[in-house]
Amino acid sequence: MGAMLRSWWKQIKQHRVAIGVVGIALVVVITLIIAGYWFDWTGFNGYNKITTTHTISGTNAGTVNKTEEYQPGKALWDWLNLLGVLAIPAVVGLGAAWYTAQQGKVSDRENSDNQRETALQEYIDKMSELLLHENLRHSDPDAEVRKIARARTLTVLPRLDSERKSSVLRFLYESGLIAKGKPIVDLSGVDLTEVDLKRAFLSGASLSGADLHGVDLRGANLFLFDLHEADLGGANLEGTNLASTNLEGATLIRAALRKANLLGAFMKGADLREANLESAFLAGADLENTDLQRANLEGATLSFANLHDADLREAILESSLLNGADLHGVDLEGAKITGANLSFTNLEKARVTNEQLEVAKSLKDATLPDGSIHP
């Protein structure tokens, strides 16, 4: 509610000239209407018109003739004519104010865009100097030049829009400055929210600890990427290649991972609450101690994945492939596993009911919660 009021007040301030012109015009019209009906001399109500005629007969005699006629009040057409006349300056003023406001918006957008482009070019120029003249790429981990490079990156990113933030990342990647295992520019804690990286190729790069909330990485190639402890809440990772990616301790709350390739991904302790992993490929992934409450894993492949002590309460696992997966100690309270393939699965000490297991597609050779082997 507060945000709506602030937005409404902002709109009023932006068009205050036009609103003022219209307000004045309305006040004038209302004042004329009230005055017209309050004072008879205005003629708005109608009145009797008396004409006096003098007729002279003889020297001292005279005759006076009086003629009385009714002068009608203002009709609807008269009012429309009056309003039309009064509306002309109001419309002209409103049009001028609107045009001025639109020109101001265009000018502001152009100025902002020019400032962002200038900031980006200055950043690339200065970083290029560090690479070419200050030996940044081969500098020691505690070298001053690395601190300068990080400071410049941290400073410029908040000033850029989504597209130009993407340009910064691509520049750092192509320059070999954010390679996994040995990043020269540390991007931990860097604000990369809502950056557009659709179909980007960033294989083997590191963005560990970065704020990537709401980022668009659809169809990107992040093979062997380092995203441990990164914030990817609400991020769009549909169809993204995350094979063998390090997502340990990452936040992926409500992230879209539909049809994502997470083959062998390391996701220990990750927060995947309410994430959409429908038809995702998680074979051999390490999901130990992950929080998958209310996550959608319908049709997902989790064959031979490690889900030791994972929290799968109220998760959707219908028609998923869990054959050979380690579900030791998992919490499946309220989870939907109708049609799930649990053959050769380790469910020892798992919190799951017999009713849930009865609707599974297969429990062949699965280790049940009591330690027994299902035939």
Q: How confident is the model at residue 175 (pLDDT cuts 50, 70, 90)?
A: very high
Residue-wise pLDDT for 348-361, tens only, equals 999 999 999 999 99
Query: Where is 173: in which H helix or E strand?
Result: helix 162-174
189 or 102, higher pLDDT: 189
CB 187 within 8 A of CB 210: yes
Which amino acid, residue 34? Answer: I
Which amino acid, residue 52? Answer: T
**Mean pLDDT across the chain, nearest whole number?**
83
- CA dist 246 and 206 (Å) reads 9
Q: Which of 93-102, 112-121, 218-227, 261-270 has the lowest mean pLDDT?
A: 93-102
Q: Which of 187, 257, 263 is nearest to 223 (CA)?
A: 263
Range picked from 18-22, 70-74, 188-192, 276-280 for highest mean pLDDT: 276-280
pLDDT of 106 higher than 70:
no
CB 175 within 8 A of CB 195: no
- CA dist 31 and 278 (Å) reads 67
- Could you identify the residue written with the tokens 């062997």? 224
- CA dist 93 and 86 (Å) reads 12
pLDDT of 16 higher than 80:
no
DSSP 44: S
The number of CA neighbours under 13 Å toward the Cβ of 302 is 34
- Average pLDDT on 243-257 reads 96
DSSP 69: E
15 or 174, higher pLDDT: 174
150 or 77, higher pLDDT: 150
Q: What confidence score (pLDDT) does residue 304 get?
A: 95
Which amino acid, residue 325? Answer: A
User: For the chain, what are the domain ranges?
Assistant: 2-47+73-112
| C-alpha triplet 162, 163, 168: angle, nearest 5° | 95
Residue-wise pLDDT for 298-314, tens only, equals 999 999 999 999 999 99
* Phi-psi group of 224: left, alpha or beta (phi > 0 → left; psi -120 to 50 → alpha; rest → beta): left
